[in-house]
Structure 1
Amino acid sequence: MNNILITGAASGIGAATARLFHERGWQVGLIDRDAEALATQAQALGGVWQRALDVTDLAAVEAALADFCSIYDGQLRLLFNCAGVLRFGHFEEIDMAEHARILNINVLGLVQVTHAAFPYLKATRGAQVISMGSASGVYGTPHMASYSASKFAVRGFTEALELEWRHHGIRVGDLMPPFVRTPMVSSQRFEPPVLRRLGVNLNAEDIAQAAWRQARGAAVHRPVSWLFRLMYGAGQLSPAWVNRGIMKLLSGA
């Protein structure tokens, strides 16, 4: 029996991933702040387990993990940290409350869910954590500074925990896509130059497929799309000033 718990599951990448894993026979649990959209998504999948909560609420996170995993004898095969928020714009023009919200959800929320999931992952053979990283966690991206900072944090967290949790038999990795066509991106009022130059060539289903491949593999970082795989591979070999120059060119800085 394989089970997966997905945060940010009411729409976009989380919802697409839930559909894909459910279609392929996994037992699916859904978490999201949007209770109405979450209930609709859960019903569409035949009434699967769901819980409306904010991932920054530690008590609610711990209670949800305990409840979901109790259905499966205290086991959790896969945690998919997909909850996240994004805001495009000039750094100084975005309220500090919004910067704090981005960091709290994208970093603190992810860490809290992963921490709460540990005993259930440890009790499960072949357990795994997948987190939503980003191309913005490899190259600092103008006009999304706080989001980029949050994804650098996800990258470092993933690398550290992958080494630390090997001892427990838990695989840890992340997905690194460039821009994805989801409501989170399409709802933005500001368009960064880098988005215009790179375009939005991925959809939520593409990332769901990457999550499926990651669930059957052991990569620490999984770049998504041929272009970013090329950029990521070159970036591992190039000096830092070359990578910085590429970002300057793409962003018009």
Structure 2
Amino acid sequence: MSSKIALVTGASSGIGAATAKRLAEAGFKVYGTSRRGAQSARHGVEMLALDVTSDASVQAAVAEVIGREGRIDLLVNNAGIGVAPAGAEESSIGQAQAIFDTNFFGLVRMTRAVLPHMRAQRAGRIVNIGSVLGFLPMPYGALYAATKHAVEGYTESLDHELRHWGIRAVVIEPAYTNTPFDANMLAADAKLDAYGEVRAAVTRRVQEVMATAEGPEVVAATVLKAALARTPKLRYTSGTLAGRLRLLRTFAPAGVMDAGMRKDLRLA
């Protein structure tokens, strides 16, 4: 295991930091990335500068790891931005594009940069951090949910395409996770008075749930499980709530799910 090389994006805090630490403890040699630039190693993790919205930055970071190690065995696409509750109408097109550029196209950039090396070594694993919102979209979370739906579809197609080379792609589906990621969500840039009251109410409810949510270590453990599985599943829910929501989404009538979500968010 000591020869396995992992690259984890968005590893300076939250799920990324917990995942990088857990992988290092399991014996991986881990390179983490941060937009804030290279930092001193911690918890056995070497930190590199990387902005997933920049083609040049992505290529440079991957080239750095390949130059040092000669291979990348595991890519964890974790880097992303949270979006505060808001009506879909309340974000400009520019903001919508920026959210997708990080949460989806950043993942695509990383995958495209790493795949030539994984194909050459005929082995590798790509673990994408998705969300329960990738299969169960919530009101006042349309753009974030849309990026996570894109991650789900991309990962499933990718996994089919790569098996020929001994590469597998999987997606992790956490629910609410108590991390700084959620404390620094991007606010809508085109707010409308018409949504003000309900936006505030949904925000309060999300904050209540976040305060008692499971920590990022739960997601990190799921990532490790997916990374080590001999025959990985395509999807891994992470945490108690995520598992329950996946079961409900699969087996409960649509009307029951609809009513339950609205009740939980205290919508009329």
Q: Which amino acid aligns with 2:245?
A: M
Return closer, same or farther for 1:160/1:194 CA change in 2, 3 Å cut-off.
farther
Native 8 Å contact 1:49 1:68 kept in 2 = no
Name the larger-Rg structure: 2
The question of whether the paired residues in 2 share the 8 Å contact of 1:139 and 1:243 is answered with no
In structure 1, runs of 5+ residues without a counterpart are none
Letter in 1 for 2:126: V
Alignment of 1:191-202 (within 5 A): 192=203, 195=206, 198-199=209-210, 200-202=212-214
Give the direction of change, closer, same or farther, for the CA distance of 1:236–1:193 in structure 2 (3 Å limit): farther
TM-score, normalised via structure 2 length: 0.84
Matched with 1:226 is 240
1:227 offset after TM fit, Å? 2.7
Q: Distance in 1 between matches of 2:95 and 2:222?
A: 29
- Give the aligned partner of residue 28 of structure 1: 30
CA contact (8 A) 2:4 2:28 kept: yes
- 2:7 match: 5
Q: Which residue matches 1:215? A: 227
Distance 1:241 1:64, change over 3 A: same
CA distance in 1, matches of 2:257, 2:170: 23
Corresponding residue for 2:141? 144
Distance 2:130 2:184 in 1: 20
- 1:187 maps to 184
After superposition, what is the alpha-carbon deviation per residue over 1:16-51, rounded to whole angstroms, capped at 9, x for unaligned? 11111112221111222122xx51xx42245x5432
Contact 2:123 2:165 in 1 (8 A): no
1:44 to 42, 45, 49: 42
- 1:141 partner SS: coil
* 2:197 corresponding residue in structure 1: none
**Cα offset, 1:239, TM superposition:** 4.6
Q: Secondary structure at the match of 1:209?
A: helix
Determine helix, strand or coil for the equivalent of 1:206: helix
Alignment of 1:91-240 (within 5 A): 91=87, 92-124=89-121, 126-188=123-185, 192=203, 195=206, 198-199=209-210, 200-217=212-229, 218-240=232-254
Listed as ranges, the matches of 1:12-23 within 5 Å are 12-23=14-25
- Look up the SS of the partner of 2:104 in the other structure: helix
Question: Normalising by structure 1, what TM-score?
Answer: 0.88
Tell me the number of residue pairs that the alignment of Structure 1 and Structure 2 aligns: 247
RMSD: 2.2
Paired position in structure 2 for 1:84 = 80
> Are the equivalent residues in 2 in contact too, given 1:30–1:50 (CA < 8 A)?
yes
In structure 2, the CA distance between the partners of 1:180 and 1:157, relative to structure 1 (3 Å rule), is same
